[in-house]
Every structure is written in structure tokens, then in C-alpha cells.
């Protein structure tokens, strides 16, 4: 049996993973009636429902695929529940390369092996966290591109309640290590406020809001002002989580741009050529940077001086110049500004109110500790495909010679400060250095071959050439 | 004036097109259709850009022309104090070469590479290829004349009628014979519902590689463009969401957010555009990610020189990290071979990014960026920095002088294939 080996590493501080994912399991819908009123349950069935008989998801009354349905099939890597312990990027490349050819494609058994149960069950997650060097975690749902498109506000509220109840129960397995971020029904500010109060009573630390204009609901509209006041009152953090603009559930005929992440997708869809990996680039930071800029420039934090905000999964390299650009824009337009003057520069407001997530392969926080030291919070993005463990982040930081005290802040203490969470009673100190793997595990030689440029090609002539 | 040892090449400077481009340089038979296809009007009571007969009005205060207001000695704070109720003229150095040379002297700039302003924002969207061809010739002839008074100091990006690749290649060969043209302007935007990664543009990359002219990529704010052209319009749309005031019914239903299912009144607006904060670097980032890397133009045309102006440089680190992860963890399905050693690929390529001397990433990691960046002033945009300002910022950050020399001049001269020359005192 192959054994996957890792370099020995140790740490003596507790990490906090501020953005790791669950994949919403069907039990959310199976048990929804336990948490919902009859009206809410009926609305949920019309809005966002899993039908166990047909094994299909119904969104806004229509049959529609979601990210959650993508698991356990031959020739498919379950990319939203994939990056468990040791499933490094090179391993994934090798498996993805196998899938370009039917004769080598992964089988259902192999796909099931890679579908990590920790993404929907807490016990296996805790075991995975031990291997991944993750002491504490904030769990975040996966189907983020669906929820803003739910038409029925009552159904959206029901979905949020059903999810939040399930997520809350998930964390009860070990409240010292597991925390949940709540879905908020932004379709109606009244419902959003009620849900914030409800989850705050359960100890929830963060409310998730996607910064898109889906259905015209960009989360800076004046109608949401009472919601932000409730976040201040309850101390629940404004958690801003972007996503690629897949738009699977846009209503028919909806042509307005709803996300700044749409453009990178459009470069693929308008090229006339198949392509996949590009959709993962720029999308997150495009949504995040627009929200950060508009929030800072509009004086949001002057109007809500007690609010705390977290920007998830969008990297943070861009922040090092964007805040300066915001300051510059404010200085240039002082006389033209019609909103109230800002009480402090945008960069100062960000440093006082905001945190930004970063992932383990991102080196800029380690290169510029003076700038990032107190505003960065590490995230694994586990179990999504490009997730990785805490050891990977520590490797990057050590390579950049970041002092251990700064590592401890960025990898855990900052997030705990943001959420007002105590360190765990027990700290993971040593890296697990060996994991037994099945016989079909990629060999070093296979990985080397898979990293070659043509390993990902499907052979088709570009349109321009075939037209000649 | 203080002394400096570094020769400065301003790789991102602008002209603002005068009426003469249309009224003198444009072939007479195209003057009417040319003005319908693309025209900039500035008057006492309102400004607009006309594209294909459609009028896009200025969204910002028209009394402070942000695209051409800066003069030597102005600071961002002094511009921020200008009276918005009073008309402020644009700097004549934006369209008059002798004035430009005087300002370059004052800014400590020896040589400059010039981009258009309104042709950058509107010309790529002109629909009629014949009219676009005529407009391109007119602009190129005008800018060639603009550069003539100082052929060792003034260089320009040519405009190509990419609306018809045949015309574009013909015009490319024409301008390649004129010494002032050291690159061709390329707007990183969607045109006719396709982007620069589309195979339609492959002949352009091929010709640029052969001729040794740079692809001079320069984004614009997109304030005068339809939605989904580039990042700018969407940013302005969601900015306006913050100005809407509900007259009553603070909740609303699922579609109430930006729609009209309950009565709304318009509130006070922010007072200025936000797109320029974001769109330049988001547009350049998009071009690098999708075209150079994602659709492997950089691999397929390895000798092509590319310059991406006005959009910061720090983000390149993030693109490479994201690319490295994405090529491995996303199911593979593409038609071009794509390298996974993206760091090496970037080093080997001939692409350079415009940077600002204030970028803290450049200041902290100058050696990492020194071979891949070139400085631009953005003259005469409102956020111009002079050569003196940039030198001071880099010196204060203790960037070694040999690296400053490359960033501030030598890289640009090499990329544009011109001799780096100090202007006479």
C-alpha cells in the first residue's frame, strides 16, 4: 500500500481557519420541518429544495443542478469536498489528467474515496483538522452562487434557517473547535434582521453576505442600513464572501451584469473554445475589491462605527495598493464629494474595522508584515479543490522569514480577536508525516508527467485555424 | 531644479485628442460618418462622448476635467481643493507638443510614450470597420505630427482598426515604418462580444511578434461604455445603489432591491466616479489572466513584447499564485498546452507592467519586480505623478539606484526598442 509522506513540522500556537467549507448535505432538507413553520416549509419547497425521490435540487420551482450535486460519480473529482488531508495540488493535477482520457478516468470508488465526509459530518472533519494542523475553524457553506437568486423571500428565509440550524448542530460536536457562519436572507431586510438576532443567540459570530447585485440587491443599499445597525448591536461580524459568477440560477431573460466576476467567465464563454481553470482566477478578488472600495468610499464605517467586517477567500495582495488608491481618490475628490466627508482616510477605516482572509500559498502578508500584521486572517478553503492545510501556510511564512509571533497572529490570533473566541484547550503541535493511500494513488512519475503543459489538453483545433 | 542621475522614460503618458483629428486629419469623405462613429463634445453645460451615434454623458463634475487637469506643481490635495463650481481648463500640453515638452522638462521626464484618451475609451467600440479604418489613420497621422518636434523624446502607440483584422494588419504595416510608433494601443475590453483571448486576435499577436512592436495594453475607466465592456460600468452601477432612497417600505420583496416595485426617490450621489480606483488594474489583471496566461498567448507568441500600462504591478504576484493552483486543481479541458511552472513562464516572457512608485509591494520587493515593470506618470490625468515624485518615493524606500534606473527608464526603452536618451538641459 502506498504511503504519502510529508516533511516533519511543528508549531506551538493554535491556528484558526477563518474560511473553510462544508458541502450542504441533503439532511438539511430532510430535517427542515423540525425548524420551520408550515408556511416556511412550503415556501422552502418552492424556493430551494432537495427532492429525495428524483435526487434532484429544485431552485425557484425549477429543476436545477447545484454545486452540491457534484460528487460520487465516475470520471469526476468531487472538487467541493476534495482537498482533505494530503490532497495537494500536484496530486489533483495528476487525477485531473487521468480524467482527460476515458481509459484512465477515476472510478466511482476512487471518486467516493476523495469525497471527504468531513465536509458534511463533524467527526471526520475533526480528525482531518488534526492532520491539517487546523485547531479551530469557521465553517462556511458552498452553494454561494445559488442563495442570492432565490426569488421568494420567505423561502430564502426558510433556507437560511434550515442551513443555520444544521450548521449550528454540526458545531456542537466540539464547540471549542467548530464555529459556524450564518446564511442571511438578504432578499428582505426584515427577515435578514430577524435571522441575525436568531443566530446571535446561538453564539454565531459572523453573518455571510455575498457582494453581488443579483436581483438588484447590492448590499450597500440604504434599505439594509437597519441590518448593519443590528450587526453592530449584536456584535455579529459582517462576513463578505465572494464567489465565481456562475449564474446558474439567474431568471430567464435576466441580462444585467450582477457581479464583477462575470467578466473572467465571459472571456471563456465568448472565446468559442473550451476552457476550465480560468474561471477560478480573478473572480473572488473582483467581487471583493469592488465591495471594499465602495464600502470605504461611501463612509459605511462612519455610519456604523461599531461594525466589524471580514473579507473572505479573495486573497489579499491587492489590498496593499487598493487602500492607497482609495485614499488618493478621496483626496482628489474632496471638493466634488457630495456624501458627508469621511472622518478618517479609507485605509484607516479598513485597518480599524476590517480583516482580510488569505490562503497558504499567498506570500504578500509575509513580505509586508507591517501592513498585514493586524488585518490578515488565514483560511484553508478546505474542502474546496484549491484548499490546503496550515502546514502549507507555515511553509510559505518560514520561506519569507516571517517571525513566529506574526505567524501566530495571522494564522490564528487575529481571527480569534475578530470573533472574540478563546484559544482551544489543546493545540496541535506536530505534523502527521505519513498517510496510507490506496493502490491507485498517483506515483511521483505520474505527477511529473501530469505537470507537463499538454497534459490538460483536449485535442481540438482552434476556430481560427480550422477555418483556414 | 534638483539634479538626478537617472534617465526617465515615462511609459504611460496621454494626449487628449483635439478637434483637428476629425476636422483636419480625417479624410473629408469620412468626416460626417467619423463624427457619428466617435466624437467628444465639451461645452459649457455638459460633456459627452458619442460612440456609434449613442451619447454617453459625463458622470463626473464637468468643471474639473479629470482626464486632463494636471499641471506641474499640482498635487492630489490641491486638485481636491479646486472649486467644482468654476470651470478649470485642461492642460494645453495634452494636445500641443511644445507645451508638452516644457511640462516634461518640469516633471523630470526625458522621454515619453503617448496613449490616446478618447480614442482609448471609444474607438474600440466603433462598429463600422471602414469608418474605424479612416479614424485610425487620422489619429495616427495626427499623433505622428505631434511627435515630430522631438523625435528622440516623443513616442506613441498607434491605433489599429481591429474591427477588421485585414485593415488592422495593413495599418500596422504602415505605422511600423514611422519611427515614432513603438507599439500599438490595445484596450483590454470586450468588443463585439469577444475578448482578446479569442482566436480572432491571433494574427495580430503574430504580426506584432514579427515586427517587434509592443502590444501596448491600456485600460480606461469605461465610464462612457455599455455594461459588460470592461469593469467600469458595473462599478458605477453598484455605486449608484448606495444613493437610492426608499420613500416608504424599507423592506420590499425579492426583486425590490434595485427595481421599481415600490416607490423610490433618487438620493444624493457620491459626487464622483469610483471606477478609476478599480477598473484599470482589474482590466489589466483580466487581460493577463485570460489572454496571456489562461489562453496561453504568452506561450504561443513567446517573443511578443507586451506592456500593460496604468494598472499597478503588485497584483502580478497574486495572478501567478492563483494560476499555479488553478491549473492543477480544476478539471482540465483546454485546447492549448498550458505551462504549470507559471513563475518560470513569467520570467521568460516579454511582458512588463506599469507601476506606481508608491506601491508598497514594489518598494519592499524591488528585486523581484525590477525586470518586469516600467514607470508611467499618467500625465495629464488628475492623479499624475512627476518623475521627481517617483524618484523620491523609490529613494525614500531605499530601492537601490541601479534598480531605480531600470524601473524608471531602461526597462521601457528596451521594451519599446528606443535608445534611452537624456533630454538636453
Are B356 and A321 inside 8 Å of each other by CB? Answer: yes
Give the one of B238, B257, B315 whose C-beta lies nearest to A294's C-beta.
B238
User: Dihedral of the CA atoms A295, A296, A302, A304 (nearest 10)?
Assistant: 30
Confidence of residue B265 (pLDDT cuts 50, 70, 90): low
Mean residue pLDDT across chain B: 93
Does domain A3-70+118-453 fall into CATH 3.20.20.140? yes
Indicate whether B259 pLDDT > 60.
Answer: no
Which grid cell sits at B107? 516633471
Main-chain dihedrals φ then ψ at residue B234, nearest 5 degrees: -65, -40
Q: A108-167: per-residue pLDDT in tens?
A: 999 999 999 999 999 999 999 999 999 999 999 999 889 999 999 999 999 999 999 999
Are B241 and A273 inside 8 Å of each other by CB? Answer: no
Give the one of B79, B271, B294 whose C-beta lies nearest to A337's C-beta.
B271
Nearest-CA distance A74 → chain B (Å): 13
Are B238 and A325 inside 8 Å of each other by CB? Answer: no
Indicate whether A326 pLDDT > 50.
Answer: yes
> What is the arithmetic mean of pLDDT over B33-37?
98
Give the one of B83, B246, B325 whose C-beta lies nearest to A223's C-beta.
B246
Are A364 and B235 inside 8 Å of each other by CB? Answer: no
Greater confidence, B4 or B147? B147
pLDDT at B244: 63
> What is the arithmetic mean of pLDDT over B182-191?
98
Give the one of A281, A385, A464 whose C-beta lies nearest to B323's C-beta.
A281
Q: A288-306: per-residue pLDDT in tens?
A: 999 999 999 999 999 999 9
Are A453 and B326 inside 8 Å of each other by CB? Answer: no
Indicate whether B253 pLDDT > 50.
Answer: no
Give the one of A257, A278, A453 whose C-beta lies nearest to B228's C-beta.
A257
Are B281 and A264 inside 8 Å of each other by CB? Answer: no
Q: Could you tell me if the ipTM is greater than 0.85? A: yes
Are A223 and B250 inside 8 Å of each other by CB? Answer: yes
Q: B336-354: per-residue pLDDT in tens?
A: 999 999 999 999 999 999 9
Are A457 and B335 inside 8 Å of each other by CB? Answer: yes
Chain A residues touching residue B321 (CB < 8 angstroms): 315, 361-363
Are A337 and B272 inside 8 Å of each other by CB? Answer: yes
Are A93 and B269 inside 8 Å of each other by CB? Answer: no
Greater confidence, B204 or B251? B204
Are B83 and A335 inside 8 Å of each other by CB? Answer: yes
pLDDT at A460: 54
Q: B232-247: per-residue pLDDT in tens?
A: 999 999 999 988 665 5
The number of C-beta contacts closer than 8 angstroms across A and B is: 347
Give the one of A190, A221, A324 whose C-beta lies nearest to B241's C-beta.
A221
Neighbours of B98 (CB within 10 A): 11
Give the one of A156, A188, A266 whose C-beta lies nearest to B190's C-beta.
A266
Confidence of residue A279 (pLDDT cuts 50, 70, 90): confident
- Searching chain A, which residue's CA lies closest to the CA of residue B202? A464
> What is the arithmetic mean of pLDDT over A332-347?
97
Chain A residues touching residue B228 (CB < 8 angstroms): 257, 262-263, 266
SS3 A74: coil
Which of A100, A195, A333 is the mutation pick for testing B, counting most B CBs within 10 A? A333
Confidence of residue B248 (pLDDT cuts 50, 70, 90): very low
> What is the arithmetic mean of pLDDT over B146-158?
98
Confidence of residue B249 (pLDDT cuts 50, 70, 90): very low
Strands (E), A247-405: 309-311, 354-358, 376-378
Range of weakest confidence among A308-322, A369-383, B252-266, B399-413: B252-266
Confidence of residue A74 (pLDDT cuts 50, 70, 90): confident
- Searching chain A, which residue's CA lies closest to the CA of residue B81? A335
Give the percent of chain A with pLDDT over 90: 85
Nearest-CA distance A420 → chain B (Å): 30
- Searching chain B, which residue's CA lies closest to the CA of residue A251? B255
Indicate whether B55 pLDDT > 70.
Answer: yes
> What is the arithmetic mean of pLDDT over B193-200?
96
pLDDT at B334: 86
Are B334 and A463 inside 8 Å of each other by CB? Answer: no
* Residues A197 and A161 sit within 8 Å (Cβ to Cβ): no
* Residues A226 and A189 sit within 8 Å (Cβ to Cβ): yes
Domain ranges of chain A: 3-70+118-453
Contacts (Cβ under 8 Å, ≥6 apart) of A319? A292, A350, A356, A372, A375
Indicate whether B2 pLDDT > 80.
Answer: no
Are B257 and A264 inside 8 Å of each other by CB? Answer: no
Mean residue pLDDT across chain A: 94
pLDDT at B1: 46
Q: A190-226: per-residue pLDDT in tens?
A: 999 999 999 999 999 999 999 999 998 999 989 999 9
Nearest residue to A231 (alpha-carbon basis) of A181, A190, A197:
A197
> What is the arithmetic mean of pLDDT over A49-62?
90
> What is the arithmetic mean of pLDDT over B76-91?
96
Main-chain dihedrals φ then ψ at residue A354, nearest 5 degrees: -125, 155
**Residue A161 exposure: Cα atoms within 13 Å on the Cβ side:** 24
> What is the arithmetic mean of pLDDT over A313-318?
94
pTM: 0.95
Residues in chain A: 468
Nearest-CA distance B393 → chain A (Å): 14
A43 burial (CB, 10 Å; 0-12 / 13-18 / 19+) is: buried
| Domains of chain B (ranges, CATH numbers) | 9-18+92-227+274-416 (3.20.20.140)
> What is the arithmetic mean of pLDDT over A403-411?
98
Are A338 and B82 inside 8 Å of each other by CB? Answer: no
Nearest residue to B382 (alpha-carbon basis) of A213, A332, A357:
A332
Amino acid at each position: 500500500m502506498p504511503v504519502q509522506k510529508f516533511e516533519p513540522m511543528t508549531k506551538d500556537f493554535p491556528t484558526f481557519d477563518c474560511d473553510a467549507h462544508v458541502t450542504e448535505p441533503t439532511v438539511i432538507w430532510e430535517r427542515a420541518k423540525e425548524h420551520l413553520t408550515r408556511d416556511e416549509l412550503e415556501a422552502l419547497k418552492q424556493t430551494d429544495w432537495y427532492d429525495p425521490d428524483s435526487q434532484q435540487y429544485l431552485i425557484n420551482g425549477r429543476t436545477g443542478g447545484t454545486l452540491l450535486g457534484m460528487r460520487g460519480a465516475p470520471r469526476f473529482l468531487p472538487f467541493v469536498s476534495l482537498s482533505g488531508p494530503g490532497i495537494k495540488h500536484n496530486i489533483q493535477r495528476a487525477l485531473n489528467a487521468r480524467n482527460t482520457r476515458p481509459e484512465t478516468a477515476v472510478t466511482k470508488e476512487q471518486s467516493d474515496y476523495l469525497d471527504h465526509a468531513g465536509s458534511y459530518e463533524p467527526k471526520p472533519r475533526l480528525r482531518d483538522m488534526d492532520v491539517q494542523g487546523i485547531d479551530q475553524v469557521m465553517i462556511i457553506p458552498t452553494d454561494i452562487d445559488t442563495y442570492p437568486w432565490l426569488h421568494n423571500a420567505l423561502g430564502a428565509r426558510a433556507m437560511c434557517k434550515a442551513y443555520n440550524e444544521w450548521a449550528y448542530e454540526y458545531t456542537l460536536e466540539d464547540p471549542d473547535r467548530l464555529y459556524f457562519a450564518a446564511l442571511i436572507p438578504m432578499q428582505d431586510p426584515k427577515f435578514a434582521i430577524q435571522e441575525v438576532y436568531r443566530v446571535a443567540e446561538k453564539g454565531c459570530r459572523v453573518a455571510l453576505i455575498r457582494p453581488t447585485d443579483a436581483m438588484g440587491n447590492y448590499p450597500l443599499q440604504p434599505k439594509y442600513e437597519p441590518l448593519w445597525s443590528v450587526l453592530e448591536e449584536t456584535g455579529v461580524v459582517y462576513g463578505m464572501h465572494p464567489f465565481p459568477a456562475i449564474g446558474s440560477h439567474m431568471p430567464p431573460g435576466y441580462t444585467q451584469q450582477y457581479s464583477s466576476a462575470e467578466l473572467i467567465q465571459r472571456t471563456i464563454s465568448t472565446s468559442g473554445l473550451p476552457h476550465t481553470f480560468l474561471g477560478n482566477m480573478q473572480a473572488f478578488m473582483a467581487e471583493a475589491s469592488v465591495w471594499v472600495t465602495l464600502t470605504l468610499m461611501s463612509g459605511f464605517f462612519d455610519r456604523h462605527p461599531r461594525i466589524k467586517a471580514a473579507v473572505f477567500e479573495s486573497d489579499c495582495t491587492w489590498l496593499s495598493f487598493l487602500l492607497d488608491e482609495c485614499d488618493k481618490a478621496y483626496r482628489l475628490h474632496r471638493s466634488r464629494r457630495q456624501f458627508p466627508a469621511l472622518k478618517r482616510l479609507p485605509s484607516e477605516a479598513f485597518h480599524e474595522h476590517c480583516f482580510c482572509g488569505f490562503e497558504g500559498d499567498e506570500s504578500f502578508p509575509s513580505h509586508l508584515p507591517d501592513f498585514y500584521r493586524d488585518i490578515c486572517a488565514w483560511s484553508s478553503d478546505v474542502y474546496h479543490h484549491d484548499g490546503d492545510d496550515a502546514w502549507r501556510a507555515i511553509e510559505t511564512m518560514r520561506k519569507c522569514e516571517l517571525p513566529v509571533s506574526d505567524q501566530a497572529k495571522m494564522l490564528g490570533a487575529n481571527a480569534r480577536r475578530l470573533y472574540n473566541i478563546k484559544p482551544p484547550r489543546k493545540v496541535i503541535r506536530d505534523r502527521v508525516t505519513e498517510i496510507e493511500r490506496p493502490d491507485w494513488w498517483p506515483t511521483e512519475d505520474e505527477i511529473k508527467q501530469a505537470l507537463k503543459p499538454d497534459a490538460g489538453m483536449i485535442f481540438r483545433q482552434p476556430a481560427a485555424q480550422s477555418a483556414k | 531644479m534638483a539634479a538626478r542621475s537617472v534617465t526617465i522614460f515615462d511609459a504611460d503618458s496621454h494626449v487628449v485628442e483635439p478637434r483637428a483629428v476629425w476636422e483636419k486629419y480625417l479624410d473629408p469623405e469620412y468626416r460626417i460618418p467619423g463624427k457619428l462613429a466617435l466624437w467628444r463634445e465639451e461645452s459649457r453645460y455638459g460633456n459627452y462622448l458619442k460612440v456609434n451615434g449613442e451619447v454617453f454623458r459625463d458622470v463626473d463634475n464637468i468643471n474639473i476635467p479629470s482626464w486632463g487637469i494636471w499641471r506641474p506643481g499640482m498635487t492630489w490635495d490641491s486638485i481636491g481643493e479646486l472649486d467644482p463650481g468654476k470651470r478649470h481648463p485642461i492642460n494645453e500640453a495634452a494636445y500641443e507638443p511644445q507645451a508638452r515638452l516644457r511640462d516634461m522638462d518640469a516633471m523630470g521626464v526625458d522621454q515619453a510614450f503617448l496613449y490616446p484618451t478618447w480614442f482609448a475609451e471609444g474607438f474600440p467600440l466603433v462598429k463600422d470597420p471602414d469608418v474605424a479604418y479612416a479614424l485610425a489613420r487620422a489619429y495616427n497621422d495626427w499623433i505622428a505630427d505631434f511627435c515630430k518636434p522631438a523625435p528622440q523624446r516623443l513616442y506613441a502607440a498607434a491605433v489599429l482598426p481591429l474591427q477588421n483584422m485585414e485593415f488592422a494588419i495593413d495599418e500596422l504595416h504602415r505605422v511600423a515604418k514611422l519611427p515614432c510608433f513603438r507599439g500599438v494601443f490595445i484596450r483590454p475590453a470586450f468588443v463585439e462580444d469577444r475578448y482578446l483571448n479569442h482566436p480572432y486576435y491571433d494574427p495580430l499577436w503574430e504580426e506584432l511578434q514579427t515586427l517587434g512592436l509592443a502590444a501596448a495594453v491600456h485600460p480606461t475607466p469605461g465610464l462612457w461604455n455599455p455594461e459588460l465592456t470592461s469593469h467600469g460600468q458595473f462599478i458605477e452601477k453598484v455605486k449608484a445603489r448606495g444613493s437610492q432612497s426608499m420613500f416608504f417600505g424599507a423592506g420590499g420583496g425579492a426583486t425590490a432591491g434595485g427595481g421599481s416595485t415600490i416607490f423610490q426617490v433618487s438620493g444624493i450621489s457620491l459626487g464622483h466616479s469610483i471606477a478609476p480606483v478599480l477598473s484599470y488594474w482589474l482590466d489589466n489583471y483580466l487581460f493577463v489572466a485570460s489572454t496571456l496566461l489562461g489562453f496561453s498567448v504568452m506561450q504561443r507568441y513567446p517573443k511578443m513584447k507586451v506592456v500593460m500600462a496604468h494598472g499597478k504591478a503588485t497584483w502580478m504576484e497574486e495572478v501567478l499564485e492563483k494560476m499555479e493552483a488553478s491549473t492543477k486543481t480544476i478539471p482540465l479541458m483546454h485546447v492549448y498546452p498550458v505551462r504549470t511552472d507559471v513563475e518560470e513562464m513569467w520570467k521568460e516572457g516579454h511582458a512588463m507592467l506599469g507601476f506606481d512608485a508608491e506601491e508598497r509591494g514594489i518598494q519592499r520587493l524591488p528585486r523581484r519586480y525590477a525586470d518586469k515593470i516600467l514607470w508611467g506618470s499618467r500625465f495629464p490625468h488628475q492623479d499624475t505623478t512627476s518623475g521627481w515624485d517617483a524618484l523620491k518615493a523609490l529613494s525614500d524606500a531605499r530601492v537601490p539606484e541601479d534598480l531605480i534606473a531600470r524601473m524608471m527608464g531602461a526597462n521601457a526603452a528596451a521594451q519599446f526598442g528606443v535608445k534611452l536618451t537624456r533630454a538636453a538641459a
